[in-house]
Amino acid sequence: MCQIVKGRARMVFFKERKCKEIIARLNRVFQSNQGNQLIQKIGAIDQDFINRGLFNSTARIAELVHAHYDYISSLKNFLLESIERDYSHLSPMKCKPHLRIIIEREYIILDGKLPGWLHESQLYDEGIRVSFERGVQNKKEEAMVDLDDNCSLWDKRWRLKKKQKRIEFSKWLIGPGIGFVIIVWLFRVCFPPEEQSAEATKPVQDRLKVLSVDPNTGKTVLFVRTRERVDGLREFIIKEKIDPWLFLWHRSFKVTKFDGSIIEYPNLEYGGSLRAIFWGQDYIDPFLKEGIQQVLDETGKECRVNQIRAEEPVKEAGALLAGIIRNIYDRMAEVDSKLLKKREGSEKVSKKNVEDRIRTMDKYLREQLQAALELYSGSAGEV
């Protein structure tokens, strides 16, 4: 009995983890595809208000806030529709907590942008700030209620489909299913297909498709899919773990470390121990390491499932990952410099040298790339 309980607990844990991984991946895909559109929309709003001479107005800030409302609403709809359509095996009730975390996080990020917009517009006032923050909070609560309602309806559809599948399978099993299965099994035992047997004796590598590399671009046809994964990883780390530090002084500042612990130090200036936390090897590095492994594994598994030689796509993933390693640490250095300038009130702050951090992570990437090549090249055809 104890073993059964443990087995069920492990199964629940893996299902929860699978939900979290899929939702996080979909979130990265959306942000990679739609993030630039949001930036362009914000730029268009700013330009429109500049042209009308109303840049320093609450109307501009209201427009910016509503642009983010539309973005979050589209994100919510994208996640719900994608999971129900492409991952119909996932339970809506197991997905809901992870969906709530993502949507709530977007509203927290939006709340953190308000003070900066008010300062830009030279309108910073506690009353105005509180009014906008109250509006964001109300909108977040409405979004959470709407998300819960959508998940409830989705759960009803999901349960109905499962019930219909069980009924259909029972009808088939009671009817001709059993006889058909027996006949097929006997036929295969008595008359094994010669072509299949011959094919099975071929070496695995001889049965795999080889992706050619375009001589003009140096890319395989899987490049666009791999780039989406890598771009999603970069956007997640920069947007969720690095850029929020620019609002360190705001009371809503809060970031989560890889181990789940929360970093929040209201009213503290950047520097000393707080700067050490930002640059600590237990902050950004674990997210980047996990992302490197995940991108290489997903690329290798995609090749394995589709009977493709994995060498070129996996090496391509490694090259893309090498690029974002520098992007991420350079962005950390930029944010660090801005925070120091803000604290010291001086423009004469040299940017931190991150070459050692880049070399260390490059070494980790090379090790993981070699492991992925060994793992997926030798048995890529065995699913």
pLDDT tens per residue, range 317-337: 999 999 999 999 999 999 999
pLDDT at 10 (0 to 100): 42
* Across 81-90, 126-135, 166-175, least confident range: 166-175
Model confidence at 359, pLDDT cuts 50, 70, 90, reads very high
The pLDDT score that the predictor gives to residue 186 is: 59
**What confidence score (pLDDT) does residue 75 get?**
92
The overall average pLDDT reported for the chain is: 81
Higher pLDDT, 289 or 57: 289
Summarised one tens digit per residue, pLDDT across range 188-228 is 656 555 544 444 444 445 556 776 666 666 688 888 999 99
Do residues 129 and 61 touch, judged by C-beta distance below 8 A? no
Q: Decide if pLDDT at 95 tops 70.
A: yes
Q: Residue 209's beta-bridge partner residues?
A: 308
Q: What is the pLDDT of residue 333?
A: 94
Strands of the chain, DSSP E = 255-256, 262-263
Higher pLDDT, 383 or 377: 377
Residue 362 has pLDDT above 60, yes or no: yes
So what's the pLDDT on residue 331?
A: 94
Nearest to 41 by CA among 67, 18, 60: 67
Cβ-proximal residues to 216 (8 Å cutoff; 6+ apart), any chain: none
In terms of average pLDDT, the best of 83-92, 152-161, 328-337 is 328-337
* pLDDT reported for residue 58: 86
311, 373 contact by CB (below 8 A): yes
Contact (CB, 8 A) for 295 and 230: yes
Mean pLDDT of 346-363: 88
Q: Using pLDDT thresholds of 50, 70 and 90, give the confidence band for residue 73.
A: very high
- C-alpha gyration radius of the chain: 26
Asked if the model's pLDDT at residue 124 lies above 70, the reply is yes
Q: Mean pLDDT across the stretch 276-295? A: 94
d(CA 118, CA 60): 10
pLDDT band at 9 (very low <50, low <70, confident <90, very high): very low
Least-confidence region, from 87-91, 103-107, 182-186, 304-308: 182-186
Say what the pLDDT of residue 184 is: 58
Helix (H) or strand (E) holding 8: helix 2-51
Query: Of 19-23, 79-83, 91-95, 363-367, which has the strongest mean pLDDT?
Result: 363-367
Please say if the pLDDT value at position 137 is more than 50.
yes
pLDDT for 204 equals: 47
Residue 236 has pLDDT above 60, yes or no: yes
For residue 312, how many other CB atoms are within 10 A of its CB?
18
Mean of pLDDT values over 73-91 = 88
Q: Assign residue 304 a region (left: φ > 0; alpha: ψ between -120 and 50; beta: otherwise).
A: alpha
CB-CB contact of 128 with 121 (8 Å): no
User: 292 falls in which pLDDT band (50, 70, 90)?
Assistant: very high
How confident is residue 55, by pLDDT bands cut at 50, 70 and 90?
confident
pLDDT tier, 173 (very low <50, low <70, confident <90, very high otherwise): low
- Percentage above 90 pLDDT, the chain: 30
- The gap from C-alpha 164 to its chain's centroid, in whole angstroms, comes to 33
